[in-house]
Amino acid sequence: MKMDADGMRKFTVTAILPADASDDYKTVTFTTGSGKFDVNGKESADRQIDTEGKTQLLVIVGDVAGKFSITASIGSKDPKYSVSKQFRLLPVSSANIIAVMLTDTTSIRADGVSLINVNVDLNHTAVSVVDVSSSEGVFVGSNKATDESNVDQEGKTTFQLRVGKNPTQYVIVTSITNGIKVIKKVSVARAYAESMITEAESLKVTSDAPVNISVFLKRAKGAVSIGTDVLFEPYQQDVDGTQKSVGRITGTSAGTGEDGKIQATFHADSENIDSSRPIRVRISTTKDDGSTLSQVIELTFKEG
């Protein structure tokens, strides 16, 4: 008899004795070299024969491939008798036990709200609970990075993983009893802005009084990913339309924060500033389709 060494499958072992066996031979001791008996979770179990001389119990197979035997012994005193049966456990692949498919991942972005469906299909009647974990995000059912679920009558269940705001590779591990697991990886892309709001704390700037500029990146669904870059380009335009860079910007190296905000500071301290002309700051960032989203704010320079 051949079976998969999955540590879960069960089969029945039956011992048959003469119905009129004496009391010294009415207890059957079963032992196994692999797996355990369902009745007590051990490698040995005693069973009494019934009025027809029969007794039986369930054996849970082990998880190591190879030959093993089950022995039935009787006799509380000599002579004692025993009989053994040989079995073989075959190496098992997780693909034969559990199938996992991720859906809705083609255009998934780290916007803090999008969902990845983790669909699980079990081909094993002895398993009813599936555990899942993810390196990022949280599962809707538990609001944690781990969750568990019972399968339905068809051996199926679905988890929903809500992505975070960090664009990275997600490692999703689905596991069942005895350490059998399936690992899936999916790359979650950056969620860029669809619109922006810009605010300058003052529209007047001096050489010794810099101006803070706040930018809020927005999306119709969810939020912009953490660390999204925003480019600030301060310039002045000459009479002939030529643009020249002026001043300097600080505070933008980390990109946007959890709330999609970034704050830059403009310092009007370069020698090439023309105090008679306005200073413009072009603020731009990338959109999901690779195009550019930009706004321009205008500042007035006053001598410090």
Across 124-139, average pLDDT: 87
Neighbouring CB atoms inside 10 A of 91's CB total 10
Give the model confidence (pLDDT) of 49-101 as tens digits: 998 999 999 998 887 778 888 999 998 888 888 999 888 887 766 666 788 99
pLDDT-based confidence at residue 253 (cuts at 50, 70, 90): confident
Evaluate if residue 210 carries a pLDDT over 60: yes
Distance, in Å, from the CA atom of 35 to the CA atom of 41, rounded to the nearest integer, reads 9
Q: Which two tokens stand for residue 254?
A: 């980390």
Q: What is the DSSP letter of 54?
A: E
Tell me what pLDDT residue 95 has. 67
- pLDDT one-digit tens code per residue, 1-48: 677 777 777 889 999 999 888 888 899 999 998 889 999 989 999 999
Tell me the torsion sign for CA atoms 260, 285, 226, 193.
positive
Average predicted confidence (pLDDT) for the chain: 90
Q: Is the dihedral of CA 189, 195, 199, 204 positive or negative?
A: positive
pLDDT at residue 263 in the model: 95
Please provide residue 227's backbone torsions phi and psi, each rounded to the nearest 5 degrees.
Answer: 80, 20
CB atoms < 10 A from the CB of 68, how many?
A: 19
**Each residue of 211-239: pLDDT tens digit?**
999 999 999 999 999 999 999 999 999 88
Locate 91 and state its tokens. 């190496």
Is 24 strand, coil or helix?
helix
| Higher-confidence position of 160 and 177 | 160
Kindly report whether the peptide bond that precedes residue 91 is cis, defined as omega within 30 degrees of 0: no
Number of Cβ within a 10 Å radius of residue 290: 7
- Residue in 110, 108, 105, 113 with CA at minimum distance from that of residue 222: 113
**pLDDT tens for residues 256-271?**
999 999 999 999 999 9
Q: Which amino acid, one-letter code, is at 103?
A: T
Which residue type is seen at 74?
I
Asked if residue 178 has pLDDT above 70, the reply is no
How many contiguous H segments (helices) and E segments (strands) does the chain have? 0, 27
Of 1 and 196, the structure prediction assigns the larger pLDDT to 196
Query: For position 137, what pLDDT does the model report?
Result: 97
- Tell me the domains of the chain and their CATH numbers: 2-90 (2.60.40.10), 94-190 (2.60.40.10), 195-301 (2.60.40.10)
CA 206: distance to chain centroid?
51
